[in-house]
Amino acid sequence: MLSSNLKCLFGMAAIVNMHLNNGKPRDIIPATRKIGEVSMSHDALGPQKAFEAYLADGKFMIQKSRSTGTYLFWPRVLAPGSGEDDLEWVPASGMGRVYSITVNRKREGNHNVALIDLDEGPRMMSTVSGVETTAIGARVRARIEAGDMPRVVFDPVGEDA
């Protein structure tokens, strides 16, 4: 049984969906994936869990609005600014440039935190592996670092990449 808060949330989502579609509900056919023996929609997982499921499958995926062509990151339900709910998952090129980088110094060892401008447009927070720091504007390539919680990290690449 759904709690009253969840019922309210789902009700609001239906109202927003109808408002964005001129009062007409719109059917969106979600992509599905097999989880065990159960076929489950990535949309049913929610955007964050869907992103994590793609990473677990070894795929770096980002969202794209079908109507505007805008790429999005961090995973979300609606496109910022337009409120469009026509988001689809697409493979990221994995290429980008360092927008900003800082080094966190700790007794256990230093690590960097970087903002990366993906070639598709979105900016994401990650780390540049193998170096303590790198130049602003340096080209980087994404890879998925396996583990209990897979994550996207970036490796420096030459300017011609």
pLDDT digits (tens, 9 = 90+) for 40-65: 555 567 899 999 999 999 999 999 99
> Which domains are present in the chain?
95-156 (2.40.50)
Q: How confident is the model at residue 4 (pLDDT cuts 50, 70, 90)?
A: very low
pLDDT of residue 101: 95
Helix (H) or strand (E) holding 90: strand 87-91
Is there a cis peptide before residue 89, judged by omega within 30 degrees of 0? no
Three-state SS at 113: strand
Report the chain's mean pLDDT, rounded to a whole number. Answer: 80
The residue with greater pLDDT, 14 or 108, is 108
Residue with the bigger pLDDT between 161 and 137: it is 137
pLDDT of 16 higher than 90: no
Asked whether the predicted pLDDT for residue 72 surpasses 90, the reply is yes
Q: 151: part of which helix (H) or strand (E)?
A: strand 151-156
Output 127-133 pairs: Cβ under 8 A, ≥24 positions apart.
Answer: 127/153, 127/154, 128/98, 128/101, 128/153, 128/154, 128/155, 128/156, 129/153, 129/154, 129/155, 130/155, 130/156, 131/156, 132/103, 133/101, 133/103
The predicted structure's pLDDT at residue 151: 95
- In tens, the pLDDT along 89-148 reads 999 999 999 999 999 998 888 889 999 999 999 999 999 998 888 999 999 999 999 988
Model confidence at 159, pLDDT cuts 50, 70, 90, reads low
